[in-house]
Amino acid sequence: MHLKVLLPFQIFADKPDVARIVAQTPHGSFGLLPNRLDCVTALSPGILSYAMANGEEFYLAVDEGLLVKIGAEVLVSVRNAIGGTDLGHLHETIQKDFLTLDAQEQSVRSVMSKLESNFIQRFAAFHHVQ
């Protein structure tokens, strides 16, 4: 298989001759072998591992995103990725950086929602007075 890991502004990894891929989805682990049918799945923040045809294994800490398999091409599109060989370190990175960022984004979205709601209420009151 040919694996490409895409970030918003760059190609993070471009690996030909990948023998297998294991990724985390909202419903659990998801494995890909070369003869698997084409598919699309959402990815959860977690570890994406892949093994090369020569047996070498690699690990990526990835943020949420999508995985698309079409024929021998596998595209992974995520917001953030970090490569490494120490699974403990990658797990800590996910806990510290990716999941904290999601909590911050939820907080910002909550504040924006309140601001938008307040604006709409004031606009409606202003329109009603006119």
Domain definitions of the chain by residue range? 2-104
Provide the 3-class DSSP secondary structure of residue 6.
strand
**50 beta partners:** 21, 58
pLDDT value of position 18: 95
CATH number (1.20.1050.10, 3.40.190.10, 3.40.50.300, 2.60.15.10) of 2-104 reads 2.60.15.10
Residue 46's pLDDT is what? 82
* Residue closest to 22 by CA, chosen among 55, 56, 48, 57: 48
Mean pLDDT by groups of 10 residues along the chain of 130 residues:
94 95 91 91 89 91 90 92 78 69 63 71 69
Rounded alpha-carbon distances, angstroms, from residue 42 to 22, 29, 63: 13, 11, 11
Rounded CA Rg of the chain? 20
pTM for the predicted model, two decimal places: 0.70
Counting beta carbons within 10 angstroms of the beta carbon of residue 52, is it exposed (0 to 12), middle (13 to 18) or buried (19 or more)? Answer: middle
